[in-house]
Amino acid sequence: MTKTIWNFKTHPLRGVLLFYAITIAFHVLWRMCSSWAGSENPAWLFQATWFGEHLWDRAANAYTAMAGFTTRQAYLAAALINELLMGDNFERLGGENLRWLEGVNFERPEDVNFEQLDGDNFERPDGDNFERPAGVNSTFVFHAASPAGTQIRQLIIDHTCSGLKQFYQAFFLFLLYPGPWKHKAWFIPMAIAVMHLVNVLRIVVLSLAMLHAYHQWDFIHDWVVRPMFYVVLFGLWVWWDQRSGG
């Protein structure tokens, strides 16, 4: 009887603590790797070579390839939904485009063809030219009505929109959390697919905010859609824990 009461009272707390421990540990590891990415002297582990190439270079190349693919898929799915929801107020710009001018709105000049923004440079109405940055996947452009006239707002979809971090967290959470391996074989891919759908939803919500809640965009980005990933991940964990019995 004592053993039954002990398990009943401690198992939920033990599971939650393990969920948080794995999620936070791999969040910190991701942050560490991100900081090493901008360093000329990454951690000693990545300074090792394999077939004449540094492990860090191999890891960076693999990340770039995966991020490019997943970002592109998120971009295409979100663009399709945006076109259905926003109609003429939205257009997509394929290829590598100009950077997002944060906090800058300008009226659409009649002599600028926004369908041609996929060139190497873009001449702003004030005459300033700037080159497109590396790593940009594609750009969303929104035509927002305002008292001053139509404003052009841009949202760049780049590697930070890939969802790779969330895929990685979901993968290792359910890989390391107790449960039957035969169920993990299908649950882990499903969890990654769910996180991809959440990422697409995040981009769509931020797109709608560009049109309808522009001044609250930063708040929505930081405090609404970013925590949404963890809410969904926690829900998946609860489902897994109940299904597998921990």
DSSP 62-113: HHHHHHHHHHHHHHHHHHHHHHHHHGGGEEEE-SS-PPP-TT--EE--TT--
What is the pLDDT, as a whole number, of residue 228? 95
What is the pLDDT, as a whole number, of residue 204? 96
Task: Decide: 235 and 198 in contact? Cβ < 8 Å.
Answer: no
Q: Which residues pair with 129 in a beta bridge?
A: 123
Strand locations in 146-221, DSSP E? 151-158
What is the pLDDT, as a whole number, of residue 133? 41
What is the pLDDT, as a whole number, of residue 48? 60
Task: Using a cut of 0.85, tell me whether the model's pTM lies above it.
Answer: no
Report the Cα 69 to chain-centroid distance in Å: 12
Low-confidence ranges of the chain (pLDDT < 70): 1-11, 35-56, 94-137, 245-246
Token pair of 154 as six digits: 């841009």
What is the pLDDT, as a whole number, of residue 125? 36
Token pair of 24 as six digits: 């936070």
